[in-house]
Structure formats: C-alpha cells, structure tokens
C-alpha cells in the first residue's frame, strides 16, 4: 500500500512539474485548434444538408399559384448606370418660358393607329406619329391656349411587332429625366430619344408569366417608379363573355428596369362600383395619374357602360367622369366633367406643371365606324372647363405629355 501510495504521489509530482514547464499558450493553442476544427466540421455538415434540401425541393411555381399572389417580382436583364439614389426628377424636360401672356410649355403627343401602324413602304416596319406643340397657361386668369408645330408630325419607327402589329403607342410619359412611350400591342416600353425609339423593357401580360405582350394603356410616376396599367376590365370576347383578368394587373418599373407585377383586380372593381357598375358592365381606363400633391389617384375613364361589352356598341359608350381615390381605394369620389359625347373618351391627361395639380389638360379620342379623331380639353379639378374641347387631328392620338 505504501509503495502504491508513494508511486501515486511521485506520478502526481511529475505531472505537476511537467505542467509548469509547459507554456500556457501551447495548451490554449491546442484547445483552440480542436474547437475551430469541430466548428468547421459542423458547418460543412449543415451546408451539405441545406444544399441537399434545396436541390430536392426546388421547383418553379405554377401560373395558377402566381395568380393568387397580389405581387409578382421579376427582374429584367437591363444594364444601366441609373439607380434609385440618383433618380432624375426633372419635369418637364424643356424649361418653361415665362412671357407677358403666361407660362409657355413644350408639349407632345403620340399616335395609336391600330392596324394602320404597319408601314406601307417598308417591310417589317411599324410607325407612330409624334406631334409637338406649345401650351400657354396664364395662372392669373387660369386660361389655356394650345398651338401645334407646322408641317407633318415626326414619324417614329420600329421593326418590333407582335402578330403582325406594333408601334400602337398608347401613352407618353416623363420618367427619371427621360421620355418614354408605351406600345399596347407588344408590351414594349420605349425610350424616346432624339425622335427615335429605343426599347427599354418588355412587359408581359397578366402576372408577367404570359407569352403575350401587356396591353399598356396608361402610365404615371409614383414613389420614383413608373406605374403602368391596362384597360382595367376583364378581357372578354367581342360579345362580352369573360376570358381572363389579365388587363386588371398593373406593372411597376424601376429606373433600373426592374419590373414588378401587381394584381389590381379588387382596386379596379372598387372604382367601377362607385358608378354602380357590376360585370358584365364595365369601365375602360386609358388615363390614370397619381398626384403627390393630393396623395390620391385620378381616373378619367375612356368608356363606361352598365351593359355587356359589345365590340360595335363600345364606340358609343364614352364617359365624362373624373374619379379620385386614396391609395387604399376606400375613399372614392366622382365628379362630372362637361357633357357626354358618346363617341369621345379620355385617352391621356397630365396636370399642368406648377399648378399644384389643380389644372388638367387631357386628350379625348374618337373611333366611330372606322373614322378617328383626337380632341384636347382643359379643366380644373372641380370640373370647370378652361379650354373647350378642340379638335387636334383626324388621327387617333392617345399619349400626351409636357416634354
């Protein structure tokens, strides 16, 4: 027993001596090395499990699943130097001139010639007309005068079409210090630069996962994004049978070209119901603008009807109302603007810059048994007419802007 005890004591002494001879750093280093190795091993195992799970469970969402979402976010492969931080707020692009008679603005409008947009002289070419002029506004008398450049309008050309049609331009809008036009046939948003069109983004129909171009009809800027919408009614046959709700989606486009698709089905229904209209009745929208000043949406519908859609009768269902709503689409108001002219309907409008969004200049288009025409009108947000409806052209222009 005594020998065993002495041996144990001697062993403890040797261990103690060895311990005090070994530097503390070496022991710590060994412990740290072992700990790091253990963490690294565990990390590799976790990454492997996550990767395996992702591969096994990844799948593309179905179109039906996407339809049930209110927003679908897609990214366009656009290369640009622009960013949200350096957004160009210049508006209008041409500096207004102050004269003794008022403030003079440069204005422009683009045509939608439908099937007549196809060039008769160049193969695989489609055309639109770009007409420029001047608008004189006197803030004191609140009077408006419009004049147009002499000579023929500028011809805009593109070889991009869909199903044999293209360049049916439905809107003209300033966004991020640039001028854009919308083709309601191909879904292409073009930049208008030096009187020529350059493709910016392509908008697909509905939730963005369709192989058809979005029928763009209106555009406005809100929170430094370009909001683009369609007719706002159910897509129907020529006799009014519902086909889909693709026109009741809208698009938002960032200055970088990023596109998001938003389901506005219920918002459009709220706007329609304020006029007591339910499907198969309808309202079509081609003139919608967001106002930062009033913090609300302004709608000037093209057509309004409590009857089922009919391709022929639709030409005589013009509307003369202005609808405003807050961003939640719960506080909705209606105002009458002038008298109804059955074949005339609003196709585009803008607030006069500097009017605190009190004065509106709008285009009204006419399609009647094959004949077309465009009229311009000015009024304030109370509905008071400042510029009586005046004929501009025998062609159909559907996009207006202060350029």
CA 7 vs. chain centroid, Å, equals 89
CA separation for the pair 20, 23 (Å, rounded): 7
Contact 348, 300 (CB under 8 A): no
Q: Is 170 annotated as a binding residue?
A: yes
* Distance, CA of 4 to CA of 40 (rounded, Å): 44
Q: 398 labelled as ligand-binding? A: yes
Is 123 annotated to bind a ligand? Reply is no
Q: How far apart are CA 272 and CA 239, in angstroms?
A: 20
Instruction: Single out the residue of 261, 265, 328, 262 nearest to residue 295, CA to CA.
Output: 328
260 marked as binding residue: no
Q: Which tokens belong to 332? A: 């909705």
And the tokens for 134?
């001047």
* Per-residue CA distances from 21 to 153, 182, 189, 366 (Å): 97, 83, 79, 101
At 74, list the tokens. 């897609």
286 annotated to bind ligand: yes
Q: Which residues pair with 156 in a beta bridge?
A: 128
Task: Confirm or deny that 119 is annotated as ligand binding.
Answer: no
- Which residues are annotated as part of the binding site for Ca(2+)? 170-171, 217, 286, 347, 398
Binding residues, as ranges, are 170-171, 217, 286, 347, 398
């Amino acid at each position: 027993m005594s020998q065993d005890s002495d041996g144990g004591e001697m062993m403890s002494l040797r261990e103690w001596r060895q311990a005090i001879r070994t530097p503390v750093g070496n022991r710590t280093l060994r412990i740290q090395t072992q700990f790091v190795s253990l963490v690294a091993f565990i990390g590799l195992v976790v990454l492997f499990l996550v990767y395996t799970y992702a591969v096994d469970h990844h799948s593309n969402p179905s179109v039906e699943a996407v339809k049930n979402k209110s927003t679908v976010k897609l990214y366009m492969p656009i290369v640009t130097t622009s960013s949200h931080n350096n957004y160009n707020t210049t508006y209008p692009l041409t500096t207004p001139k102050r004269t003794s008679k008022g403030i003079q603005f440069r204005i422009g409008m683009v045509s939608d010639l439908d099937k007549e947009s196809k060039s008769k002289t160049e193969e695989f070419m489609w055309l639109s007309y770009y007409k420029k002029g001047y608008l004189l506004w006197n803030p004191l008398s609140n009077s408006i005068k419009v004049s147009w450049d002499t000579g023929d309008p500028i011809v805009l050309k593109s070889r991009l079409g869909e199903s044999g049609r293209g360049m049916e331009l439905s809107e003209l809008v300033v966004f991020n210090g640039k001028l854009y036009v919308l083709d309601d046939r191909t879904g292409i948003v073009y930049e208008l630069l030096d009187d020529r069109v350059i493709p910016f983004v392509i908008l697909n129909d509905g939730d963005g996962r369709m192989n058809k171009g979005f029928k763009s009809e209106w555009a406005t800027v809100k929170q430094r994004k370009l909001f683009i919408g369609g007719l706002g009614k159910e897509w129907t046959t020529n006799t009014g049978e519902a086909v889909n709700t693709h026109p009741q989606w809208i698009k938002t486009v960032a200055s970088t070209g990023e596109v998001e698709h938003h389901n506005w089905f219920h918002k459009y229904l709220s706007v329609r119901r304020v006029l007591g209209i339910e499907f198969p009745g309808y309202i079509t929208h081609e003139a919608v603008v967001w106002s930062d000043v009033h913090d609300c949406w302004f709608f000037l519908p093209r057509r309004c009807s409590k009857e089922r859609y009919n391709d022929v009768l639709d030409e005589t269902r013009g509307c003369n109302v202005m609808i405003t709503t807050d961003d939640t689409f719960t506080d909705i108001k209606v105002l009458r603007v002038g008298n109804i002219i059955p074949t005339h309907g609003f196709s585009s409008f803008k607030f006069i810059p500097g009017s605190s969004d009190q004065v509106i200049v709008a285009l009204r288009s006419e399609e009647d048994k094959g004949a077309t025409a465009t009229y311009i009108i000015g009024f304030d947000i109370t509905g008071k007419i400042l510029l009586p409806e005046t004929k501009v052209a025998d062609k159909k222009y559907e996009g207006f802007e202060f350029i």
